[in-house]
Amino acid sequence: MKYDYLVVGSGLYGAVFAREMTDAGKKVLVIDKRPNIAGNIYTEDIEGIHVHKYGAHIFHTNNKTVWDYVNRFAVFNRFTNSPVANYKGELFSLPFNMYTFNRMWGVVTPQEAEAKIEEQKKAAGITNPRNLEEQAISLVGTDIYEKLIKGYTEKQWGRPCTELPAFIIKRLPVRLTFDNNYFNALYQGIPIGGYTQMVANMLDGIEVRLGIDYLENKEELDKLADKVIYTGPIDAYFDYKLGPLQYRSVRFETEVLDISNFQGNAAVNYTDRETPWTRIIEHKWFEFGKDAQGNDLPKTVISREYSSEWKPGDEPYYPVNDAQNGALYLEYKKLGDAEKNVVFGGRLGEYKYYDMDAVIASALERAGEQR
Ligand code: UDP
């Protein structure tokens, strides 16, 4: 055997794992079926702008170990995520905060906002929220649910809010302050130079082979290493033999515009049901519209994001963590646990709606167990 580890997938999980095992003195080979590294955090330079090719990624964490870890591979800027919600031309601040409540109801004080939410919650009669709809109403009331959550969520997930798990909406903070920071995180930012450069730094000195499909060449590739770290979809690994897990896919329509400012913000969410896209990302604002020398960029690049149900041939992005898929995943996990020389990791390998920091924490933990 030439390698101790074959890492399948050069996304964040694979790159962190490969770095850790290499630093522990192991011989590691990383492969990826795409022609580039970095998985879904891949950024591509278009007109001097780091375009988030597979969807916007904003690094945020409360985990000091993870923050220190990523700072070894990139310098982070001070970007703070403050998306704007566009509901039929009315603009609201996100996450839900005093600016949102003021725009929605004209309330001025936290007490007035709280009373309004309480009143709507009471009228809806929800005591023990059982799904996303009930959870949302009990957090922010019916008006905000109807205008800012329902349409967006049903587009994003392709399912009624009554059939979605409550935890998805708990990702969004509700604040009785004027804080527009989308995340409750101590540390936040975008890697200067782009995510691809950050992952390249993680993989520095490690052998990487691109354009190789593991599942198509499994038998041969397995011979190369003692252990496999597999970060692709777990159901694909087992050739969908228990049936496919459901994922949401995303399609991006990216345009270069000959203007310097399209929407004045990195993310604008279209929260009505009728607009076919969920959000528009204007990539330059992740880096304040400046190039590396601090000059204003003359053009802009925008991506409209369309959500769809995953089908074979599409890129899987979001696991659909409802009860049915959860149960099927557990069956696949049993099969996975029986594969003694394979570690399944990351959003697709563990069928989990992981954020980047949690992926890193998980890869660090699994790598630690291997030593
Ligand atoms: N969400 C919403 N309205 C918004 C933004 C988010 O209702 O304007 C809900 C939606 O259900 C979404 C969830 O909150 O799936 C989590 O949003 P987040 O921005 O964390 O999703 P991601 O950035 O991972 O796609």
**Which tens digit of pLDDT belongs to each residue from 9-23?**
999 999 999 999 999
The CB of 153 under 6 Å from ligand 1? The reply is: yes
Pocket test for ligand 1, best of 143, 149, 356 (most atoms within 8 A of CB): 149
CA of 135 to the centre of ligand 1 (A): 14
| Closest ligand 1 atom to 153 CA | 11
Q: Is the pLDDT of residue 1 over 80?
A: no
The CB of 180 under 6 Å from ligand 1? The reply is: no
Give 49's pLDDT tier (boundaries 50, 70, 90).
very high
Closest CA to 148 of 172, 120, 112: 172
The rounded distance, in Å, linking the Cα atoms of 303 and 292 is: 22
Residue nearest to atom 10 of ligand 1 (CA): 153
Pocket test for ligand 1, best of 52, 103, 168 (most atoms within 8 A of CB): 168
Closest CA to 156 of 348, 335, 6, 320: 320
The confidence score (pLDDT) of residue 171 equals 83
The CB of 172 under 6 Å from ligand 1? The reply is: yes
Mean pLDDT throughout 263-282? 98
CA of 184 to the centre of ligand 1 (A): 14
The confidence score (pLDDT) of residue 156 equals 97
Give 282's pLDDT tier (boundaries 50, 70, 90).
very high
Query: Residue for token digits 């309480």?
Result: 118
Active site residues: 171, 175, 248, 279, 305, 353, 355
Look over the chain and give the mean of its residue pLDDT values, rounded to a whole number: 97
Is the preceding peptide bond at 95 cis, omega within 30 degrees of 0?
yes
51 forms beta bridges with 44
The confidence score (pLDDT) of residue 315 equals 95
pLDDT digits (tens, 9 = 90+) for 181-198: 999 999 999 999 999 999
Residue 335 near residue 295 (C-beta atoms within 8 A): no
pLDDT digits (tens, 9 = 90+) for 154-171: 999 999 999 999 999 988
CA of 169 to the centre of ligand 1 (A): 7
CA of 271 to the centre of ligand 1 (A): 10
The CB of 100 under 6 Å from ligand 1? The reply is: no
| Closest ligand 1 atom to 94 CA | 8
pLDDT digits (tens, 9 = 90+) for 252-266: 999 999 999 999 999
Q: Is the pLDDT of residue 223 over 90?
A: yes
Q: Is the pLDDT of residue 343 over 90?
A: yes
Mean pLDDT throughout 68-74? 98
H or E stretch at 212: none
CA of 227 to the centre of ligand 1 (A): 36
Mean pLDDT throughout 278-291? 97
The confidence score (pLDDT) of residue 170 equals 86
pLDDT digits (tens, 9 = 90+) for 286-338: 999 999 899 999 999 999 999 999 999 999 999 998 899 999 999 999 999 99
The rounded percent of the chain whose pLDDT value lies above 70 is 100
Closest CA to 323 of 203, 165, 187: 165
pTM across the whole model: 0.96
For residue 97, the 8-state DSSP code is -
The confidence score (pLDDT) of residue 41 equals 98
Q: How many helices (H) and strands (E) does the chain have?
A: 13, 16
Torsion angle of C-alpha atoms 103, 109, 111, 112, degrees rounded to 10: -40
| Closest ligand 1 atom to 56 CA | 23
